[in-house]
Amino acid sequence: MSLPVAVVVTLWFAGCGGYAAVRSVRSGGRDRVRYLTHVAMAVTMIGMAWIAPPSSVLVAVSLLFALETFALAVEAGRTRHWLGAQHAVMAGLMTLMCLVMVPPRGHVHHDMAGMDMAGMDAGMDMAGTTTAGGSVLRAALLLGAVALVPLSVVAVDRARRDGRRLAVRDRALEGAASLGMAVGAAAMALH
């Protein structure tokens, strides 16, 4: 990933994650969990912009996001709330983004000293192009990115209509996080 793109990604998700961290302290219950989920996603997105973590870390983080995806999908199905579905798609995209960065066996990550900026070139170039599984991951990633944008619009609109008084800042967080996630996922899928 180029330095300017890494800086933009960092600033974008530092803003989203910072706002979510502050809101998590002021909230309780499911809202706190939702905000902490945004913090975890923001930290992961920033990390992926700068480094290519070891495969074991990527797999562990993928498993955590997969569990989160499942829990959010179950809750969205139970409550039939669009915002939950949007969060499930976001967590699912995080799962896929981490998995796409896992290199096939025998491939070595480059470090920052080599100026490969690992996250994009070392990770995605490997998993996405050298295996059939990588192609499936990339296709799923692109499909999720495409689905996230309208799902996010519907989620925020439904929340507003349902009487859930989302603050303007909360709607902005949802929109910014979703847009950044969709753009990042699409970039990884098409790289």
4-39 tens-digit pLDDT: 878 888 888 898 888 889 888 988 887 788 788 888
pLDDT for 163: 59
Residue 40 pLDDT class (50, 70, 90 cuts): confident
The total number of residues shown for the chain amounts to 191
In a domain, 47, yes or no: no
In a domain, 70, yes or no: yes
What kind and span of H or E run contains 52? none
pLDDT for 188: 76
In a domain, 34, yes or no: no
Half-sphere exposure of 71 (CA within 13 A, CB side): 11
Q: Which domain holds residue 128?
A: 52-190
The pLDDT of residue 100 is above 60 = yes
In a domain, 101, yes or no: yes
In a domain, 60, yes or no: yes
Q: How far apart are CA 102 and CA 64, in angstroms?
A: 15
In a domain, 79, yes or no: yes
In a domain, 95, yes or no: yes
Q: Residue 111 carries which DSSP code?
A: -
Task: Give the chain's domain count.
Answer: 1
The pLDDT of residue 127 is above 50 = no
Half-sphere exposure of 17 (CA within 13 A, CB side): 17
Burial 12-26 (b: 16+ CB within 10 A, else e): bbebbbebbeebbee
User: How high is the mean pLDDT of the chain?
Assistant: 75
In a domain, 30, yes or no: no
The residue with greater pLDDT, 122 or 172, is: 172
Q: What is the pTM of this model?
A: 0.70
